Amino acid sequence: MSRLLEVNGLTKRFVAKANWYGRPIRHVSAVDDISFTLDAGETLGLVGESGCGKSTTGRLVLRLLDPSAGSIRYDGRDITGIEGSALRDLRREMQLVFQDPYASLNPRMTIGDILTEPLMLHGLVPPAKRKERVAELLQMVGLAPFHARRYPHEFSGGQRQRVGIARALAVEPNLIVADEAVSALDVSVQAQVLNLLKDLQAKLGIALIFIAHDLAVVRHIADRIAVMYLGRIVEVAPTRQLFATPRHPYTRALLSAIPVPQPRAARQREMLTGDVPSPIDPPPGCRFHTRCPFAIDRCRQETPAMQSTGDGQEVACHRWTELPAAAPLPATTDSAGAARLARLQARFVQSTEVPPLSR
């Protein structure tokens, strides 16, 4: 697979406080010096608690926000500072699927108009062929061509998310950033939308950055996972490996937080204590030291660099080699998310059937 995206030292600072004259006197680093790569057709899961900077990362990659520092290379080109028509052209190749499908669709437009808009904006399909293309897009996401005449409020949450995906696909992108794309949906509908995304990705070869806080959901779709904490990436690993041998104490705690059906297993869990510190005034050294059960003095003073574990994982922790092995996830827990989704798939995903809507 060829390299599609290369992010180096990406940082985004927002103004947290300004003086009387409007000059910034305090900043908050939503994303702080992160680096990662993405291959064509690959899915990278970005996970972490609320406020860890994962959505900001997605928007930086799409150039919806300007980075404060660092670089973004897309398909071999440096896109960090591009503007104007070059940025407009780039937008065709990168698309965003939002968390709230209802808020992201104009309620006054029919689904047909919503899907036609990007085709017109980018001059992709001649006017005579647009209706045909809209019908094709609707069918790709399991909706019917006659739905083009409907308005967003006439659809369920899952159907609206399908429309959101169809709109993203309309411009034939190389990269989609799905920002908590299934978080607002019922668990049964989540499975449908996840499978739809997976199928479309396999068929069309689109790379995906899948942002979510639920590791069980990310596990179902991601090839690799990057774990974020307070604006930094603390661990990156292939999905299976991350679940088998989590190296960073924060990743271990996140995995422990996956619901466990057996009380014995529950006793072995490494639970997170305390709140996430304020990003306006992050702790010095390792940002996780205020909640880490393995913290030592060095952690409070020195920021851990990202280092390779030699087996395909990368981790930012001073003590990863010394830590006792994480308690293995119980068999049923280990696959709890996948099993739950598999059950739901069996029940709901055999079809991409659309609940009846009268014509």
Measured at the CA of 316, the angle between CA 315 and CA 320, to 5 degrees, comes to 70
Nearest approach in angstroms of CB 44 to ligand SF4 is 22
Nearest residue (CB) to ligand SF4, 162 versus 289: 289
CB 126 within 8 A of CB 132: no
CA atoms of 194 and 181, how far apart (whole Å): 9
CB 329 within 8 A of CB 258: yes
Rg value, the chain, Cα:
22
Please give the full DSSP string across 177-211, using - where no structure is assigned: EEESTTTTS-HHHHHHHHHHHHHHHHHHT-EEEEE
Minimum Å gap between C-beta 257 and ligand SF4 is: 16
In angstroms, give the least distance from the CB of 70 to ligand SF4.
22
Q: Which is nearer to ligand SF4, 54 or 247 (CB)?
A: 247
Q: What share of the chain is helix, strand, coil (3-state, %, to 5)?
A: 35, 20, 40
State the nearest-atom distance from the C-beta of 248 to ligand SF4, in Å: 6
Which of 289, 307, 310 lies closest to 298, judged by CA? 289
Q: Which is nearer to ligand SF4, 98 or 288 (CB)?
A: 288
**CA of 260: how far to CAs of 183, 188, 268, 335, 337, in Å?**
21, 20, 10, 11, 11
- Nearer Cβ to ligand SF4 (27/319): 319
Between the alpha carbon of residue 296 and those of residues 254, 299, 347, the distances in Å are: 21, 5, 49
Minimum Å gap between C-beta 313 and ligand SF4 is: 14
CB of 293 to ligand SF4, least distance (A): 8
Instruction: Give whichever of 160 and 291 is closer to ligand SF4, judged by the CB atom.
Output: 291
CB of 286 to ligand SF4, least distance (A): 3
Torsion of CA 124, 126, 128, 133, to 10 degrees: -20
Residues that bind ligand SF4 (CB under 6 A): 248-249, 286, 288-289, 292, 294-295, 299, 304, 317-319
The SS3 of residue 114 is helix
Question: Which residue lies nearer to ligand SF4 by CB, 149 or 300?
Answer: 300
Q: Of 219 and 289, which CB lies nearer to ligand SF4 in the complex structure?
A: 289
